[in-house]
Structure 1
Amino acid sequence: MENGIHYRTCHLCEAMCGVAIEMKDGHIASIKGDADDPLSHGHICPKAVALQDLHEDPERLRKPVRRTRNGWQEMEWNDAFELVARRLHQTREDFGRNSIGVYLGNPNVHNHGSLVATMPFLRALGSQNRFSATSNDQLPHMLASLEMFGHQILFPIPDIDNTDLFICIGANPMASNGSLMTVPDFRGRIKGLKSRGGQLVVVDPRRTETGKLAEEFHFIRPGTDALLLMAMVHTLFAEDLIDLGPAERLAKDADLLRLASLRFSPEAVSQHTGIAAEDVRALARKLANTRKAALYTRMGTSTQAFGGIATWLAYCLNILTGKLDMPGGLLFTQPAIDLVALGAISGQSGHFGKRHSRVRGLPEFAGEYPASTMADEILTPGEGQIRAFVTVAGNPVLSSPNGRRLDEAFSSLDFMVSVDYYLNETTRHADVILPPTAALERSHYDLIFSMFAVRNVAKYSDALFDAGPDTRHDWEILLELAHRLEKQRKGGRLPIRSELGWQAFKQVGPDPILDILLRTGPYGADVGRIRGLTQPAIDLVMDILPDGHPLKGMAKLSPLNRRWQGLPKGLSLPALRDNPNGVDLGPLQPSLPERLFTRDSKINLAPRCYLRDLDRLHEQLEQPVKDDLLLIGRRHVRSNNSWMHNSQRLVKGKGRCTLMIHPRDASRLGLQASDSARISAQDRKIILPVEITEDLMPGVVSIPHGWGHDRPGTGQSIAAAHAGASINDILSDEQIDPLVGTSVLNGQSVTVKVWRPERQRKRA
């Protein structure tokens, strides 16, 4: 790569910050924020600088390796593909198509090449035993979007740049830069909010980095957010504060929601939540009486026993107070490549509960079972037992509950293959590891997070480095495996037409597909410049085509639609190459009812699945409040899940994998700041240094997610030297939200005791 400044998008979290990478003599000289990026305006967090560390990491795998009695040995690509395809096919032949499991980690959604190749690979694999990070993360949001708006990834996004009140419950955008809300430089945007006279309100069991910026902060007991939100709904109806605004003619079944809320008064929930009844009422009034306001929830409310109900109610509160489809409230994006509309046209808007897992009967969502039942499906004998497994850019041993049981499960498999460039806590169990190129060695376009951004933007980057001839991109790996599996299934040969199709797909790759989608999307070709096309002629064609016709659906999405006349035009891959800083496509705009995908084009305020689950929520009110210590996770701006701890610049300094505990609880348990503590649940336990802080609600302890690099047989020396402990080693995989199957990562009970090595040795 030639010397000079090259512009890219950081892919390490959801924020899509623009970076300016200076190259000198083929090496990275510096990484800084791109001041001309239309979304991030020069902001970056510490992770962006570590892009260089990830690229240059000498422990990153470059060639396939296989496990042998003498350790890991490198393989040639063709031999590796042949071995993997043969073993997977043999497992399928011997034990049936569902004897193969697959897990997709969240880095896949930062990678348009992987997204393009994943579906052909899954079709070739043919198994129903699919899992991903979704059920440890955003699944409640996807269910709410499907049930209320008709599409699983149609998420309403807070218009944070124009709001006057931002209520943040169970989220920490200062550390995450937003999640299902792509919002780089959250601090700067909150500073803008305050300069407009606006206010930030935070509700959380911990006074997070975001909570410390808030004018108003409330502690809440973990796992009780649904009670708080339902009491706020109760208040809106009781005090006649309902005003649906733009959704007035679109929302249905508000009366059912009113009836459902009658049992959940602020007084009824106060003791359980830890929030005074009058504070609950004041919060509801503030949301209702502020014209430009948004209520936002995330991981803390999603990954708990009532995550499904809590996420639904957060959307309901925004709708009941007129904040949906309102500038300064919640708006839907209009990305350059609209995967929501494309999915709806092809009948892929999402589905839920079409089948249930073999062992525990948990519901699938969009074809995936909850990750919390992976170990069950591997370890439980019987028809459909998983005997072989594929992981793609995922480390579930550290990122899913009961990681030690997953260790046991993966070690019991007949065969395992991982597409990953690290030998980590999960891939150490694989028989073969197929390492893809690193991010800077491939092109980049954010297909997914452009749909969640607080402003419509588009940005493309060519590969910064030449990967070399003896490497493979992840999309090449997945397509090659899919092709070979199809050939194995057909007896070793494919029909000529099918064979030519596979070869063409592998040669073309994702970027030409990207170009087609850009050109035919809302910001694509300028119809007015196409000879012979006039708007009346276009309208006539649109009228002639029957509703439901695929061409009409594509035409509605394309520049031919009159609806897109006011949008910028001419977007294509060459156009984005000519604008390396990215293209600003404008602020979020009201888009209802056209953006809805429900059958009746209405917003469903009271889906029956939620109403049925309210009895379970009410049972919580009838139970006495226990004095158990409740565990919550946390995130740090210098970390992201489990795969960024092999960068020295990110892990250096004061250790961050600690047990946070309130002074009152520490005193009661005899803990001091210099101590280590044993945190346990049933027969599971970990040891961590103690951090005493008043930033936690009494009765709550906190451990960060993604650590636990002390397992033998990994190949990340820096991570191992800063091992910490995995919160998922003490979390139970049996605790889930039964409504949707999400793992309970916040609110499980734990026991904490002083742990001193010399005392333990004496006892031994």
Structure 2
Amino acid sequence: MITDCNDTPWTHSSSRRRAAAVSSHPQEAGTRRTFCRICPMGCPLRVTVEQGRVVAVTGDREDPIYRGFSCVKGRAQPAFLNDPARLRHPLQRLPDGSHRRIGVEDALDEIAAVLARLIDRRGPRSIAGYLGTYVIANALIRPFHRAFMEAIGSPMDFGAATIDKPGKPMARALLGSWGAPAQEFDRPDAILLVGVNPLVSYQGLPLGRPGEWLAERLAAGTELIVVDPRRSETARRATLHLQPEPGHDIGILAAILRTVLRERRHDEDFVSRHASGSAELTRALEPFDPTLVAARCGVDPEEIVEAARRFAGPPGEKRRGYAMAGTGPNMTGSGTLVEYLVQALDLVCGHVLREGEEIANAGVLLPPPVARAEVTVAPRPAAGFGEPLRVRGLTATAAGMPTAALADEMLLEGPGQVRALLSICGNPAAAFPDQRRTVRALSGLELLVQVDPWMSATAELADYVLPPLMPFEQPSATFLQDTQVLHAVGYGTPTPHGQYTPAVADPPEDSDLLSEWQFYRGLAARLDLPLTLRSLFPDATWTHEIGPADSPSTEELLAVLATGSRVPWEIVRGTDGPVGPSVIPPPPVVGPPTSLGLRFDLANAEMLAQLAGHSGDVVVADPALPFRLVCRRVVHAFNSSCRHPATQRGGPGNPAYLHPSDLADLGLAEGAAVVVRSRQAEVRTIVAADPHLRRGVVSMAHGYGDLPGLDRPDRGANTSRLLGFADDFDPLSGQPRMTAVPVAVEAAPPTQTSC
């Protein structure tokens, strides 16, 4: 319940000052060019504005890369912006669990006072921060979040990466890094996608128009090999699709890599010059005979061998290509090993740019790259450094702090216990594994702050809820789309793409909102702490200090982020829409090696030890839990964000998809109410038929749902409630098994009603 705080007078003067720092003038009627900040795709858009309100959104057909592409999330933004359920004022939780309205400045005063007391009494480690995947809404959020956590001296800075795909940066750390980009989208002859569906998730194929790009590559003869227990939208276009039982990604990848090495289809010259450990890796792969692996995972052994041959090409042929694993394989509880094998496969095939080759996408807002044809970052530990956690032997990692352990850090009493959480751009109560434990941990905090435009599951528990301005109400630029080029293989646009946008909509009338960066600056000012901003890009070394009394504008801060950009900020900001090719410098060329003498490590001891543990049948059958629950991407939502009727189009919240034959065997009709049960818990949902699934598989999206006991059909079932991590987690990242989870599906008993 939400009530007005009638006994506390407050004004809109501070709200007007904050709005002026973000956007300096009201919006006039007409059509504006902007870009979407709902998901990492960043689609260029045209928005129609009437009286400061966005009333229609379409793709920008004049954009040279996207050419009008947009998805339902971007086009639904008028409904997001103007929804009566959108929070327009901060809220404070009362002792009875209800919330009342409070002014932003008052809320910041009270939050800062609690933080100061906690730092004084328990130390900075008692305060944790969590940054979710909706960080893409505003390029300033991440640098301000990091600056604030650094300013208060807390190492407890958590993010979504370690419960999503932490294996990518961790495997890169273990292997070492090449001084130039991967070949990736630059004329690949072969693409291997494992558990990723880029025609829905927009990861694994280039941003822009991924379907058209894929059609062009297939017409040119590119091999598309997909490994997925579902014949997904992408798998239906594959030249070869392996449809295994869930949970066998490591065995399949190891068998493919074994075949490539045994048949000498790898780039022997590249490996001999730049890598160590190939002989040890070859020996470690020996148990993964394709015939044995195929028998365990339910595919034809010839398909595994054929996948290796099509991906690597004939012996002696230097085939271009890339491999990528998605959320599914990364969430199996061994994501670091999955990524180590994927990236090792790319390396032994030599899928990197060499001396003299052009870098097709060197970015727009990135600093100009200095690329060299050599290993420039030596292999290093992926974990075991930084702040040690008090549970499961975990530490800081190359992907960040292990988020799956945050609930335990809140619950475990004693020195170092987390007593406050600042949650931004995410929904921990819906997204963290073991939802009941997470909710218990959040409920026991001395301070929980949720920055959120909606009354999400986490907002319901929060002591303070601060609604932010939404993306169209703030200026921004495509910094985060540029950083995707650096993130990992399978991200970003095929060629440089950059765009600035002013605010194109006014905040709602009678609202008291702030930008996310203003939340951090407001707290730092009250704590009398300076903030030191650092670049989003690792090669940039600038810093920018904001003193407690400073009041910068969003425009000034965006200019700071663009320091040293490849295309000058004045040009990007002065262009209506994306910058054109005439202002983008020619593609840089990969330079010659120096004398560093570094080498990739293909035989990391921890990885080979883990690999040995997967040489048998790692998926143990349980007759009481005969199905395997796998994660599913949906185009109308982005993780725990955008769960809105306008994108659902009247469809069910989060059904459990099964093969029609499995439904028939269970005696269930489509739309029937069911209970999905794991060893951990159970959730109630409805079933839907998906003939593209392998039998024995249940497919559901993650990030849905409400608090336990408050489940609503429109919010869908929460699969995180089904997940535990006591004895099945990645020992380096701490990520638990979040897919290929054993479950049962049963008809739900009739719901009880009360009056």
Q: What TM bracket, shorter-length normalisation?
A: 0.7 to 0.9
Match among 165, 186, 205 for residue 190 of structure 2: 165
The one-letter code sitting in structure 2 at the alignment partner of 1:604 is D
Match among 141, 145, 152 for residue 125 of structure 1: 152
The one-letter code sitting in structure 2 at the alignment partner of 1:353 is G
- Where do 5+ consecutive residues of structure 2 fail to align? 1-26, 485-491, 532-543
Partner in structure 1 of residue 276 of structure 2: 252
Q: What is the Cα deviation at residue 39 of structure 1?
A: 3.0
Cα contact 1:46–1:638 (8 A) shared by 2: yes
Cα contact 1:252–1:603 (8 A) shared by 2: yes
Q: 1:98 to 1:574 in 2, by over 3 A?
A: same
Deviations 1:660-683 (A, max 9, x none): 122443344343335322111135
Cα contact 1:247–1:322 (8 A) shared by 2: yes
1:289 aligns with 2:287: no
Secondary structure of 1:679's counterpart equals strand
Q: What is the Cα deviation at residue 475 of structure 1?
A: 0.7
1:104 aligns with 2:124: no
- Report the Cα distance in structure 2 between the residues aligned to 1:733 and 1:333, rounded to whole angstroms: 40
1:114 aligns with 2:141: yes
Match among 401, 405, 422 for residue 390 of structure 1: 422
Cα contact 2:165–2:330 (8 A) shared by 1: yes
Q: What is the Cα deviation at residue 258 of structure 1?
A: 1.7
- Report the Cα distance in structure 1 between the residues aligned to 2:430 and 2:642, rounded to whole angstroms: 13
Cα contact 2:366–2:482 (8 A) shared by 1: no
Q: What is the Cα deviation at residue 114 of structure 1?
A: 0.8
Partner in structure 1 of residue 703 of structure 2: 706
Deviations 1:274-310 (A, max 9, x none): 2222211111111111723322221112111221111
Partner in structure 2 of residue 261 of structure 1: 285
Q: 1:127 to 1:283 in 2, by over 3 A?
A: same
Partner in structure 1 of residue 527 of structure 2: 485
Secondary structure of 2:701's counterpart equals coil
Q: 1:500 to 1:659 in 2, by over 3 A?
A: closer
Match among 328, 339, 342 for residue 300 of structure 1: 328
Cα contact 2:475–2:554 (8 A) shared by 1: no
| Number of equivalent positions | 688
Match among 667, 676, 683 for residue 679 of structure 1: 676
Partner in structure 2 of residue 51 of structure 1: 77
Partner in structure 2 of residue 515 of structure 1: 559
- Report the Cα distance in structure 2 between the residues aligned to 1:140 and 1:124, rounded to whole angstroms: 29
The one-letter code sitting in structure 1 at the alignment partner of 2:461 is H
- Report the Cα distance in structure 2 between the residues aligned to 1:24 and 1:382, rounded to whole angstroms: 56
Partner in structure 1 of residue 3 of structure 2: none
Cα contact 2:254–2:288 (8 A) shared by 1: yes
- Report the Cα distance in structure 1 between the residues aligned to 2:519 and 2:270, rounded to whole angstroms: 47
- Report the Cα distance in structure 1 between the residues aligned to 2:193 and 2:627, rounded to whole angstroms: 24
Cα contact 2:38–2:136 (8 A) shared by 1: no
1:83 aligns with 2:110: yes
- Report the Cα distance in structure 2 between the residues aligned to 1:511 and 1:148, rounded to whole angstroms: 40
Partner in structure 1 of residue 744 of structure 2: 751
Cα contact 2:436–2:708 (8 A) shared by 1: no
Partner in structure 2 of residue 33 of structure 1: 59
Secondary structure of 2:657's counterpart equals strand
- Report the Cα distance in structure 1 between the residues aligned to 2:619 and 2:719, rounded to whole angstroms: 27
Q: What is the Cα deviation at residue 54 of structure 1?
A: 1.9
Q: How much is the aligned-residue C-alpha RMSD, in angstroms?
A: 3.5
Cα contact 1:679–1:752 (8 A) shared by 2: yes
Match among 188, 193, 209 for residue 217 of structure 2: 193
Partner in structure 2 of residue 563 of structure 1: none
Partner in structure 1 of residue 496 of structure 2: 456
Partner in structure 2 of residue 639 of structure 1: 637
Q: What is the Cα deviation at residue 511 of structure 1?
A: 3.9
Higher helix share: 1
| TM-score normalised by the chain length of structure 2 | 0.83
Q: 1:368 to 1:167 in 2, by over 3 A?
A: closer
Q: What is the Cα deviation at residue 116 of structure 1?
A: 2.5
Secondary structure of 2:423's counterpart equals strand
Match among 322, 325, 328 for residue 353 of structure 2: 325
- Report the Cα distance in structure 1 between the residues aligned to 2:261 and 2:227, rounded to whole angstroms: 22
- Report the Cα distance in structure 1 between the residues aligned to 2:151 and 2:369, rounded to whole angstroms: 25
- Report the Cα distance in structure 1 between the residues aligned to 2:171 and 2:360, rounded to whole angstroms: 14
Q: 1:286 to 1:345 in 2, by over 3 A?
A: closer
- Report the Cα distance in structure 2 between the residues aligned to 1:331 and 1:304, rounded to whole angstroms: 34
Partner in structure 2 of residue 573 of structure 1: 570
The one-letter code sitting in structure 2 at the alignment partner of 1:324 is V
1:652 aligns with 2:668: no
Q: 1:679 to 1:169 in 2, by over 3 A?
A: same
Secondary structure of 1:66's counterpart equals strand
Q: 1:100 to 1:639 in 2, by over 3 A?
A: same
Partner in structure 1 of residue 536 of structure 2: none
Cα contact 2:118–2:126 (8 A) shared by 1: yes
Secondary structure of 2:715's counterpart equals coil
Cα contact 1:633–1:703 (8 A) shared by 2: yes
- Report the Cα distance in structure 1 between the residues aligned to 2:586 and 2:435, rounded to whole angstroms: 42
Q: 1:514 to 1:346 in 2, by over 3 A?
A: farther
- Report the Cα distance in structure 2 between the residues aligned to 1:633 and 1:244, rounded to whole angstroms: 37
Counterparts of 1:220-239 in structure 2, within 5 Å, are 220-239=244-263
Q: What is the Cα deviation at residue 203 of structure 1?
A: 1.1
1:420 aligns with 2:452: yes
The one-letter code sitting in structure 2 at the alignment partner of 1:724 is G
Secondary structure of 2:37's counterpart equals coil
Deviations 1:733-753 (A, max 9, x none): 433222322232111111222
Q: What is the Cα deviation at residue 223 of structure 1?
A: 1.9
The one-letter code sitting in structure 2 at the alignment partner of 1:629 is F
Q: What is the Cα deviation at residue 440 of structure 1?
A: 0.9
Q: 1:141 to 1:683 in 2, by over 3 A?
A: closer
Q: What is the Cα deviation at residue 170 of structure 1?
A: 0.4
Secondary structure of 2:527's counterpart equals helix
1:65 aligns with 2:97: no
Q: 1:37 to 1:248 in 2, by over 3 A?
A: farther
Deviations 1:551-575 (A, max 9, x none): xxxxxxxxxxxxxxxxxxxx22344
